[in-house]
Structure 1
Amino acid sequence: MWSDYWLFLLKALTVTVVIIVIIGAIARNARSGQSDGQKGRLVVRKLNERFHRQADAIRHQVFDKKALKAHQKEEKARKKADKDKTSDRVWVLTFKGDIQASQVSALREEITALLAVAKAGEEVVLVLESPGGAVSGYGLAASQLMRLRDAGLTLTVCVDKVAASGGYMMACIADRIMAAPFAIVGSIGVLAQVPNVHNLLKKHDVDVEVLTAGKHKAPLTLMGEKTEAGRQKFVDDLEAIHRRFKGLVGRYRPQLELDKVTEGDFWLAEDALELQLIDEIGTSDDYLQKQVNDKELVGVTWKPQRHLNMKVRTAASAATDGFINRLSQRILP
């Protein structure tokens, strides 16, 4: 019975590995289609009108005719006055990150377009939501935000739910970080997991050879034998990434006591404020709404052309993120 069970388990593992390889191939093809000059369109919206329309929808339901007419008269005068003055402009971007930071391709297009027209001193608001993920993807996303600051723009990051690990790697670039009271912030650390089935395969007389050139190539693998030297090399690599991560955070937020906040812990926003991981408590909605009457809010979004492989990749990513979210909901209150 146990022999049949382990044989079934090995078959299931083999099928799982094959599926992962197929999904990985699709993802690589999708990424290759998201290179510079990818097909898509830039969507630019004036957000002020959206806020005004929402308010007007309520006024039409609750105001009497006299009050509504008076408001419409005031609104007409305001619009006429707005034409005679140059409003300060606020550019609004959104980044909802997954494990692979796949939205970084759209972020690159948005920032490149924005830098062609934005003036030094104008503000960019990034509404950020991300639990972190791949180092290379989030490192590139943080580098895109550096372009904004290097161009003399003021960057404000608003966190309504979570900016952890790679998400905080992006957030720390900002001139100012705002977070909702129960948003999760921090997790300045590095994590890697490598499942290993070598002992299981060995027990059933399945021999797997892992061939490498270079003693530090793939120190830990799925099917190869684990060694203490390989494990230590893997840990050393993680420590090296962690040092760079801490260096980045320290460069853009020099007010932090790095030893207190860079051990992988996360905090709710009010605690993060005390540690100076963020600068202000508040939601993105409140921050933008306060500026509707005084500034021109412009939303910029890149919409890539979605091919079949991109749709499959997005579906796979959504399924993975959904599983992780459900798992985290069992752990976090």
Structure 2
Amino acid sequence: MDRPGSRLARTRRLPETAAVLEIRQAVRAWLPEYAPARAVAVALSGGADSLALTAAAVVEADSVDALIVDHRLQPGSAQVAADAAAAALRLGCRSARVLEVEVGTEGGMEAAARHARYAALGAARAGLPVLLGHTLDDQAETVLLGLARGSGGRSIQGMASYAEPWGRPLLGVRRAVTRQFCADFGATPHEDPHNFSPDFTRVRLRSEALPLLEDVLGGGVAAALARTAEQLREDGAVLDVLATDLLEAARGHRTDPATATDEDTLSIEILATAPAALRRRAIRAWLLAGGAKALTDKHLRAVDALVTAWRGQGGVAVGGGSPRTRLVAGREHGRLTMHRR
């Protein structure tokens, strides 16, 4: 859905209110670091967060393409998507495309819808980074969900400002600011009924758990959770570099050159003498490179036990096989191995 004409001629002037300036500054700061070409796509749902992001991006970037995903899960979703596309063009987007998707059932509706949405956005972005309207509040909810899973520091690192191709300029902005932006701008955002349904865990976190934590702890909880996530991402980046060095050392070290093969195996001796935090990160990277999928903390610790608590136990099946085969990590002749059986 495109419309000819100058972008500047079509761009509505933004009022200079505190909310508008905060969001514009967030987008302005994000662009030179992650999108120096200043051409981006924006995932637009029509809600306040993505609407405010789109309006700010049109002013701050050189060109903006709006991508609107129609999950087709609710009556009237096609009209909501069409309205969002029309709003994008009024704001001054270079183009606006509606992407219809089929939502499966694997992992529940939330996970299936997210998978379908990201797949559609990834296929339609035409090489551009895709801006997502996640806010500081979304970050806090993500950290709490990760904390509940108990899968270690990586699960509570939250979302990054940029993880190619996904950009999140508003991670330091509160959700209330995006709503105020729309009010100041005179835009009416779409209210998705799913965002108020207690059937979804994230909605209950948003409407029940976080407000309770804010009340009990005297406020500032969402911002504190977001700061914690940022600190963990910084620490995690350093640990990942060190774990990569460990992984390469474990791949190359062989006490007996005669046992060398073309298989990607790891030295038990090298891994066993490394700190646990680095060893498990190295093993995780090795498993993922070998085709493992949906690794859990239970999987990782079971493979780690092949190194640190060897009692003759058999191999560990990890996700990533096929209907006829399993991906199995094992221990053979002083090395970690990975086979499809």
Scaled by the length of structure 2, what TM-score is found? 0.23
- Structure with higher strand content: 1
When Rg is computed on C-alpha atoms for both structures, the one with the higher figure is: 1
Scaled by the length of structure 1, what TM-score is found? 0.24
